[in-house]
Amino acid sequence: MTRCSRPLLQCRIAALLSLALVAIACSKTSPPVEKEAAPAAAPAAAPAVEPKATQVEVFSWWTGPGEQEGLDAMIADFKTKNSGVEVINAAVSGGSGTNAKAILANRLQAGTPPDSYQRHAGLELADDIKAKKLEDLTSLYESKGWKTKLPKGLLDAITIDGKIYSVPVNIHRANLLWFLPKTLQSLGIGAPPATWKEFLTQAAAITKKHKTPLAIGPGWTQKHLLETVLLGELGAEQYTTLWKQPNEWQSPKVAAALDTFKKVLAFTDIKSSAPDWQPASDRVLDGAAVYFVMGDWLDAYWGRAKKLKFKTDYDVVETPGSSGVYDFLSDSFTLPVGAKHREAALKWLDECGSVTGQDLFNPQKGSVPARTDADASKYQGYLATALAAWQNPKTVIVGSLTHGVVANNAVGSEIDSALSLFVASGDAATFAKAVAKAYTVD
Amino acid sequence: MKRIRLWAPALLLMSPSLLALALFVYGFIGWNLRVSVTSWRGLLPKYDFVGLRNYAALMSDARFMQFDVPHIAIFTLVFVGGTLALGFCMALLLDKKLAGDALFRSVYLFPMSLSLIVTGIIWRWLLDNGNDASTTGLNKLLESAGLESLRSDWFRSDSAWAIAAIALPAGWSLSGYVMSLFLAGLRSVPEELREAARVDGANETRVFWHVIRPMLVPVLMSAIVILAHISLKTFDLFYAMDAKNIKIDTPALYMWFTTFDGGFYARGAAIATLLLLGVALVIVPYIAYTVREERRR
């Protein structure tokens, strides 16, 4: 009997283990909704048990300094307007949403989207729209009258096949050239370059004085530079058609612009480039490099984190050849199909599109509001000049390549590949061909 | 009946892990294969059949063929060779049973306790290639030691072999592990055998070559297999060193970026399948070898 008991025991353990596995496999269907019932985060003033109590899950990648405060301010304002609605802040860290996007893709595929999620406005939304993951918000725009509050250039860029699918909260500008006035002075440079040709002349002189003419960072900053060179060399109109008519890539003017890009790149510190945009900009601050092409999130870094003074310590101009053009990118919020709390999500979008919401968020984040009727007195320093340019009806608005406005994810990532080969080999013709081909993949 | 009693409990005990293995390993390999012959791009899964089109496209993909494949071959060669040599030398030294060898054993093993992301961030700084005042890391050390001529651009170098520089952090991390493998192998050689050889008049070199070396072959084989498959799979180290630098791009990185940035799920799956084939190329002969060895016994 004793002999037999050990295998018997093993049998039982094994059976138990198998059962446990089956149980685990079967139990995954129960959703974790228990939290919803618990009024843990409900404000003290709210009625103790409200039958209509609901929540809204807002998914973003705003976890950095500035942007997090801005999001919190917007959430607080939302709560005062909609008492009883709990906001779940499902933010995933990682600049430009690099981590958030992979997680979001999984949730969208699994059919469990957040109630509203952040995307760059423009063609970065194309995949979601094609997969029918997003609701058309055109009627919301009409009922709120937003179409008259946003500039036409922005509306054009975010309208996809006649419909609008997201609410832009903020506007960043990409075509900016940053520098320190004292560095220019010490080099005897009167003014920053107005054309890329002028830049190349200045750069040759700067190199002789053992400084780097233009700081650069990782791959996406190179793409960012490419976009500003294309914009400066082609002009706003041809730049915009470039993304609509891939054949344009084969034109001689584009070839010339790519050649300029190659020459500009040769004047950067690409061989020992910094790992990210902040350390790259540090090279300008410590005087090793003279210029830096970056979006206006740099203002928050230099102005707030480094405590420098705009105009006296650092200054900015439009990138060469892009005066009067606003190369924008925008963070926007969406309404996914199948959002669990659709009503609350619509209220959240209302908050995103409202003057109060945008004026609470943007001064913190260091961007300007998408609406042109925002309160200008809330924006100081660089932001005041940016807002003036944004609200000026004469400003020409174009969309950013690097930040998801004019290229969908497929084209964007194919350009990433092609650009890194171009930077390594210097073969512009192959690059132009690869980009034109990228449009045919989808 | 008696026979069932013998193997049934064993099967039952193993069934959970067998089930998990079947589902989560072989099931997913099968799924991945299926995806690799579709035209799935974007968020919506698409299970059509396009044959080997994705594989054919990869064969003419400049990034894959001219950069990723040569890179991973070079990296594997340098990393496996270097780590084996370093690990073996350390094992030989420690086998001399000098004072405090336990301490050295741990010290050599420590780098492995760091995740490759941490290792990558540390070595990104150590392999910095800034000039003049901004020189840091190894270049700074070389400069202080008066060896400026050895200054290198490391993985930023123009050479097609730039990726070999990443074998430094990878080898730093894993040579201690290889050392412990070899040390176990060396210590398992019975002292009597060595003494018998010495009595027969063999010098130390011959003792090593004729007595110890043959007994280390199985250790060497497993070390090669472990290192080679780690090398093919490594993703985090490259990602942490310089995520989108084409000079250190590998199939694993291309797979990740094309799938999650661009939504090219089918292409990503095709790269994954080719990676699996690459690993199989290393592992299958090893399994065949061990099975044959075990039968012989």
Q: Do A219 and B245 touch (CB under 8 A)?
A: yes
Output the pLDDT for position A155.
Answer: 94
- pLDDT of amino acid A20: 54
- Counting residues of chain B whose pLDDT is more than 90, the rounded percentage is 63
pLDDT band at A32 (very low <50, low <70, confident <90, very high): very low
A420 touches chain B (CB under 8 A): yes
Q: Coil, strand or helix: which one is B136?
A: coil
Chain position carrying tokens 């040579």: B175
CB contact (8 A) between residue A275 and residue B249: no
pLDDT in tens, A183-219: 999 999 999 999 999 999 999 999 999 999 999 998 8
Q: What is the span of the domain harbouring residue A159?
A: 55-170+331-378
Same domain, A257 and A363: no
Q: Which residue in the set B16, B44, B246 is minimally distant from A421, CB to CB?
A: B246
Residue matched to tokens 């067998």: B18
- For range B120-125, the mean pLDDT: 92
Read off the pLDDT of each residue in B153-167 and give the average, rounded to a whole number.
Answer: 92
pLDDT band at B132; cut points 50, 70, 90: low
Which pLDDT score, from 0 to 100, does residue A48 have? 42
A95 and A198 both lie in a single domain: no
Average pLDDT, chain A: 87
Q: Does A101 touch chain B (CB under 8 A)?
A: yes
Cβ–Cβ contact B224 with A under 8 A: no
- Per-residue pLDDT at A362: 95
Q: Give residue B7's pLDDT.
A: 86
pLDDT for the residue numbered A308: 95
**What total of structural domains would you count in chain B?**
1
**Whole-structure pTM value:** 0.86
Q: Is B260 on the interface with A (CB under 8 A)?
A: yes
Are B261 and A416 within 8 A, CB to CB? yes
User: How far, CA to CA in Å, does A271 sit from each of A262, B137, B158, B235?
Assistant: 14, 16, 9, 23
Confidence of residue A12 (pLDDT cuts 50, 70, 90): low
Same domain, A228 and A184: yes
Reported as a pLDDT band with limits 50, 70 and 90, residue A30 is: very low
Taking every pair of Cα atoms in chain A, the longest distance, rounded to a whole number of angstroms, is 100
> Worst-scoring range by mean pLDDT, A334-348, B26-40, B87-101, B228-242?
B87-101
Mean pLDDT of A311-325: 96
Q: What's the pLDDT band for A52 if we cut at 50, 70, 90?
A: low
Q: Is A131 on the interface with B (CB under 8 A)?
A: yes
Q: Pick the range with the lowest mean pLDDT from A19-28, A85-94, A385-394.
A: A19-28
As to burial, measured by CB atoms within 10 angstroms (0-12 exposed, 13-18 middle, 19+ buried), residue B6 is exposed
Test A127 with B124 for CB contact under 8 angstroms.
no
Q: What is the pLDDT of residues B266-282, one digit of tens each?
A: 999 999 999 999 999 98
A285 and A364, same domain (yes or no): no
Same domain, A162 and A217: no
Same domain, A158 and A291: no
Domain boundary among A340, A361, A378: A378
Contact B261 A412 (CB under 8 A): yes
Tell whether B176 is covered by a domain: yes
CA closest to B263 among chain A residues:
A410
In this structure, is residue A4 part of a structural domain? no
Which stretch of A284-293, A315-324, B127-136 has the lowest confidence by average pLDDT?
A: B127-136
Worst-scoring range by mean pLDDT, A353-357, A359-363, B158-162?
Answer: B158-162
For residue B29, is it within any domain?
Answer: no
Going by C-alpha positions, the residue among A344, A332, A409, A400 that lies closest to residue A166 is A332
* pLDDT greater than 50 at residue A387: yes
- Chain B CA closest to residue A416: B244
pLDDT value for A442 = 60
Whether chain A has a CB inside 8 Å of the CB on B70: the answer is no
Q: Does residue A127 sit at the B interface (CB-CB below 8 Å)? A: yes
Nearest CB among A218, A272, A430 relative to B129 is that of: A272
CB A292 within 8 A of CB A281: yes
Dump pLDDT digits (tens) for A429-442.
999 999 999 988 76
Q: For residue B102, what pLDDT is reported?
A: 85
Lowest mean pLDDT of A109-118, A163-172, B144-153, B154-163, name the range. B144-153
Residue pLDDT, tens place only, B210-268: 999 999 998 999 999 999 999 999 999 999 998 888 999 999 999 999 998 899 999 99
Q: How confident is the model at residue B136 (pLDDT cuts 50, 70, 90)?
A: confident
CATH number for the domain spanning B159: value is 1.10.3720.10
Q: Which residue of B has its CA nearest to A282?
A: B134
Q: Does residue B195 form part of some domain?
A: yes
A28 touches chain B (CB under 8 A): no
Residues A141 and A85 in one domain: yes
Does A25 score more than 80 pLDDT?
Answer: no
HSE toward the beta carbon, residue B252, CA cutoff 13 A: 20
CB proximity B42 to A under 8 Å: yes
The C-alpha atoms of residue B243 and residue B247 are separated, in whole angstroms, by 10
pLDDT at A3 over 60: no
| Residue B174 CB-density burial (10 A; 0-12 exposed, 13-18 middle, 19+ buried) | buried
Is A269 found in the same domain as A130? no
For residue A22, being part of any structural domain is answered with no
Task: Decide if A141 touches B, using CB distance below 8 A.
Answer: no
Q: Is the pLDDT of residue A1 over 90?
A: no
Chain A CA closest to residue B46 = A131
Interchain contact, B41 vs A219, CB within 8 Å: no
Is the pLDDT confidence value at A51 over 70? no
Whether residue A136 sits in one domain with residue A244: no
Give pairs for B60-65: CB < 8 Å, separation 24+: B62/A421, B62/A430, B63/A417, B63/A420, B63/A421, B63/B246, B63/B249, B63/B254, B64/B251, B64/B254, B64/B271
Q: Please state which of the ranges A6-15, B47-56, B187-196 shows the lowest mean pLDDT.
A: A6-15
Tell whether the model's pLDDT for residue A37 goes beyond 50: no
- For residue A394, the one-letter residue type is K
pLDDT at B20: 93
Of B10, B20, B260, Cβ closest to residue A105: B260
Q: Which residue of A has its CA nearest to B44?
A: A131
Instruction: Note whether residue A432 is domain-resident.
Output: yes
Same domain membership, residue A182 and residue A152: no
- A1-5, A227-231, A404-408, B184-188: segment of lowest average pLDDT: A1-5
> A116 and A65: one domain?
yes
Q: Which of A29-33, A282-286, A431-435 has the lowest mean pLDDT?
A: A29-33
Q: Are residue A298 and residue A419 in the same domain, yes or no?
A: yes
A394 in any annotated domain: no
Range of the domain at B278: 49-296
Task: Give the CATH number, domain containing residue A366.
Answer: 3.40.190.10
For chain A, the domain total comes to 2
